[in-house]
Every structure is written in C-alpha cells, then in structure tokens.
C-alpha cells in the first residue's frame, strides 16, 4: 500500500475530489494548508517586499491506495490539478509501513 499526498490549488480541489470519489482508493483525508515553494521569490520580486513571506492557500489531499493503482491515481490528480503555471503544487508518494484498521483505546 502507498500513501499519496497531493497539494493542489483550492479552486481545483473539488474536481480532484470528484475524480477520486469514483477511483479505487482505500481512504482519503483533506486539509486546508498554507505554504510556498519556488514562487516565494517570484512574489518577492513581482509584488514587493511586503509579500515576501506570504503563504498561499492550498488543499492537501491524502489518499491510500494499493501499490498497483499508484500510477493511475497520480495521473488522475495531475490531469485535473495541473495548470502549467507556477504554484500548481506537489505530489508525494510514500510507502505505508503499517496499517491498523482498528484502534485499541485504553486496552478495551
């Protein structure tokens, strides 16, 4: 099993959710996040010093999929979230070392 973490622009997140809703995934989590990448320097040069530390809003989508589905899911996300412009986001694929389906609370 693999964990795929996709950080996308907020206005594209709904399209990605819709595509993943019909995809063969084990689970999905969503978080609103803020950050910057290479565009930080671009903002500094383009908009002036007051925006040098501006964090841009993004949506982090985390899905867990079987190993043989990773490329399919990554292609879906890239196809929907990529605009070709700076700040499109990132996709990380991580191995899942262990997965527990039940949580033991207080030894019950």
Whether 107 is covered by a domain: the verdict is no
Structure tokens at 55: 């964090």
Closest CA to 28 of 71, 1, 63: 63
The alpha carbon dihedral of 11, 32, 21, 66 has a sign of positive
pLDDT tens sequence across 49-91:
545 556 788 999 999 999 999 999 999 999 999 988 888 889 9
Count the domains in the chain: 1
- 36: CB partners within 8 A, 6+ apart: 43, 54, 55, 56
Whether 21 is covered by a domain: the verdict is yes
Beta-bridge partners for 64 = 3, 27
We report the CATH number of the domain holding residue 10 as: 3.30.70.120
Query: What residue numbers bound the domain in which 24 lies?
Result: 2-95
pLDDT over 90 at 25, yes or no: no
């Amino acid at each position: 099993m693999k964990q795929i973490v996709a950080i996308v622009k907020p206005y594209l997140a709904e399209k990605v959710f819709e595509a993943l809703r019909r995809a063969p995934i084990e689970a999905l989590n969503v978080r609103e996040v803020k950050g910057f990448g290479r565009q930080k320097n671009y903002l500094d040069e383009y908009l002036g010093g007051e925006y040098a530390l501006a964090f841009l809003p993004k949506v982090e989508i985390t899905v867990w999929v079987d190993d043989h589905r990773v490329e399919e899911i990554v292609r879906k996300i890239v196809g929907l979230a990529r605009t070709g412009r700076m700040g499109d986001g990132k996709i990380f694929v991580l191995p899942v070392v262990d997965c527990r389906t039940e949580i033991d609370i207080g030894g019950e």
